[in-house]
Amino acid sequence: MRYHPLPRTAVPVVALVTLVLVVWIGWGSVRSPASFWAPGDLSRYHVDQAGCTHCHEPFRGPSAARCVSCHSERYFADRATPAVTTWHRELAMQRTACTACHMEHRGALAQITEQARTNPHGEFVFRATGTSSCTACHEFGARVAIRPTPAVTTWHRELAMQRTACTACHMEHRGALAQITEQARTNPHGEFVFRATGTSSCTACHEFGARVAIRPTLRDEPIVRRLYEQGRGAHRPGRIAGCLSCHSGG
Amino acid sequence: MPSVQQRVLVVSAVVIAAVAGALLFEALLSLGETTPFGHTRYGHAAGWVGLAVTLLVFVYPLRKRISPARRWPRGWFRVHMVAGVVGPLLIFLHSGAHYHALVPILAMLSMVIVVVSGIIGQAVHAFSLRALNDQRRRLQHEGASDGDIDAQLHGMASQEEAFRMWQAIHAPMTLMFLVFTLLHVVGALFFAGIS
């Protein structure tokens, strides 16, 4: 079988079209480089960055040096808890790449931190409350686990020494707002009581036993006395539990 | 002997199944992961391997041009066909169904045009040309005149002429494929780093 010769215009036409597209890419790389080169949209945390080289060093990728230029020691001191700051400082001293835990270009609403806690209030809670971080209302440990009280710590240490399975009391995969502890007490005041009272934990006002199933008692603390005083004028004096008849669920 | 239309349907179905299979495999590898497979180190490695295999296709045309007097390199033609299919399938595994940046999209589109035109050339056009020649020989053997033969084979000849278009596309589009692939590789190394 013999094929016909290639048309003489074929190669010049393709070459011309290629050249036009390359020029278009060059022009577009100046105007909107992300559209031409990025594997995905930037998250809402970095979308206001001016250019690619804010984070990317040419032929070296997103380097820690570029991250630290914005996420400096001062940045962490202003916005993070001391535990989180220390955690990141140790990783920086070990020269751990920021990209080991933080990933970008996965869309505007994507989480950029590996194993990040899902926000159960929805993303608009920051705008609605005038805050910029979960730590404005919530207390977190070095990894986003909740800080335990000494009694609870001792309780769990004893169970660990007895090699009791964690899943004997804790159950997961039941939804973002579900309790993960068996017989855990539901907060009858609602989640916003912490912001309303300026506290960060149930233990600011209540005394609990080793098992949180035991009925809590009120602590003799300034916050508790203040709330008694505030309740007295507008409502009736007496037990704070009486407030729940109107303020149930926070 | 199956018709050219049947051949086109079979070839189309096989191509679609192969591409879908590669994309589904990438989706399977991405299940439960925070990052799609194509954006991981293994996904990048699949891209490098796919590129290396695809570059093997150029040995055949280079041998034809460097030594035109030598016997047609049948073995390297087979390598050309196999590498021209396996390499792009690895590229589909590397990309997955995640398309955002325009430069890799252009590289992918030009690769698809080159590969599909090559498949049409070998699997469909060659079949159509052989069928046309066989039919012409049969009519000549039966004693038909040249005018009668042309009249009877008009439809088949038009069909063969249409499929001949692959020739005008396949080799020239390789230029566009190489340019955009180079831009994509350099761009990826520029933004993601060489190590």
Range of the domain at A83: 38-147
- State the pLDDT confidence band at A188, using cuts at 50, 70 and 90: low
CA distance B189 to chain A (A): 6
Give me the pLDDT at residue A101, please: 83
Q: What is the pLDDT of residue B85?
A: 95
Q: How confident is the model at residue A174 (pLDDT cuts 50, 70, 90)?
A: confident
B35–A1 C-beta distance less than 8 A? no
Exposure on the CB side of residue A194, measured as CA atoms within 13 A = 14
Over the stretch B16-60, which tens digit does the pLDDT of each residue have? 999 999 999 999 999 878 788 988 889 999 999 999 999 999 999
Residue A5 lies in a domain: no
Is the confidence at residue A245, as pLDDT, over 60? Answer: no
Q: Determine which of B191, B194, B195 to mutate to test the interface with A (most A C-beta atoms within 10 Å).
A: B191
- A21 close to B (CB below 8 A): yes
CB-CB: which of A7, A14, A56 is closest to B191? A56
**How many domains is chain A built from?**
1
User: At A173, which amino acid appears?
Assistant: H
Most confidently predicted of A64-68, A109-113, A214-218, B54-58: B54-58
Helices (H), chain B: 4-30, 41-55, 59-66, 74-95, 102-119, 126-141, 146-152, 154-163, 165-192
Is A39 within 8 Å of B100 when comparing Cβ atoms?
yes
Give the ipTM of the model, two decimals please: 0.86
- pLDDT score at A183: 56
Mutation pick from B39, B102, B160 vs chain A, by most beta carbons of A within 10 Å, is: B102
Lowest mean pLDDT among A28-42, A181-195, A234-248: A234-248
**Mean pLDDT (whole number) for B68-88:** 90
- Which of A13, A43, A59, A105 to substitute to test the interface with B, most B CBs within 10 Å? A59
**Rg of the Cα atoms in chain B:** 21
Q: Is A32 on the interface with B (CB under 8 A)?
A: no
Q: Taking 50 as the threshold, does the pLDDT of residue A233 lie above it?
A: no
Give residue-wise pLDDT tens across range A54-103: 899 999 988 888 999 889 888 888 777 777 788 788 888 888 888 888 88
* pLDDT band of A190, cuts 50, 70, 90: low
pLDDT given at position B67: 80
Tell me which chain A residues have a C-beta less than 8 angstroms from the C-beta of B101. Answer: 34-39
Candidate from A211-215, B11-15, B111-115 with smallest mean pLDDT: A211-215
Chain B residues whose CB is inside 8 A of the A36 CB are 101-103
The pLDDT assigned to A148 comes to 47
- Subunit contact A25:B183, Cβ cutoff 8 A: yes
Measure CB to CB from residue A60 to each of B167, B173, B193 and give the nearest one. Answer: B193
Residue of chain B with shortest Cα separation from A17: B176
Measure B44 CA to nearest chain A CA, in Å: 13
Q: Choose among B129, B179, B187: nearest Cβ to A1.
A: B129
- A10 and B100: CB-CB below 8 Å? no
Mean pLDDT of B90-118: 94
Q: What residue spans define the domains of chain B?
A: 1-98, 102-195
Q: How far apart are CA A85 and CA A62, in angstroms?
A: 21
CB-based contact, A101 to chain B, within 8 Å: no
Candidate from B34, B164, B190 with C-beta closest to A59: B190
The mean per-residue pLDDT over the stretch B57-84 comes to: 89
The answer to whether residue A87 sits within a structural domain is yes
Mean model confidence pLDDT for chain A: 74
pLDDT in tens, A128-170: 777 766 766 665 544 433 444 455 666 678 888 888 888 888 8
Q: How far apart are CA B36 and CA A103, in angstroms?
A: 12
pLDDT tens-digit map of B139-172: 999 998 988 888 888 888 888 888 888 888 999 9
User: How high does pLDDT run on average in chain B?
Assistant: 91
Rounded to a whole number of angstroms, the distance from the CA of B195 to the nearest CA of chain A is 7
The verdict on pTM exceeding 0.80 is: no
How would residue A178 be classed by pLDDT, with cut points 50, 70 and 90? low
Q: Give the pLDDT band of residue A189 (cuts 50, 70, 90).
A: low
A159: in domain: no
pLDDT band at B72 (very low <50, low <70, confident <90, very high): confident
Q: Is residue A215 part of a domain?
A: no
- Residue A157 falls inside a structural domain: no
